[in-house]
Structure 1
Amino acid sequence: MFGKPALKAHGKAFACLKGDTLAFRFGDGTPAHAKALTLLGAELFDPSDKDRPFK
């Protein structure tokens, strides 16, 4: 996923490793997404490092 090591299920990536950070894919606006963002250190994934995070 984005040139990073990734975990896939049914051919679709749902998590990837960027440096020492593990990123997970949740649907925007879902309860799981909202809950994940409340975790300490959680932030939106920005694979470009150009301040353009995914939603």
Structure 2
Amino acid sequence: MTAIEADTELALQAEVNLASWPQIDLVSGGGRSVDVGEGVSRIYPSIPPLARSPSKAAGF
């Protein structure tokens, strides 16, 4: 499983939180710029609450 976090500070915290889950690879970067490779069966995006309107989500 791969977790992608765009925010650098959140990625650092996620790294700590996920340390006991060796099956999860954490990648820091935007979802559009990260190559997840072949064999991806599902992607679960999480959009911050402030970005849920279409005008604000355009930056993501």
- Is the shorter-chain TM-score for this pair beyond 0.5, marking a shared fold? no
More relative contact order in 1 or in 2 (CA 8 Å, sep 6+)?
A: 2
Q: Rg larger in 1 or in 2?
A: 2
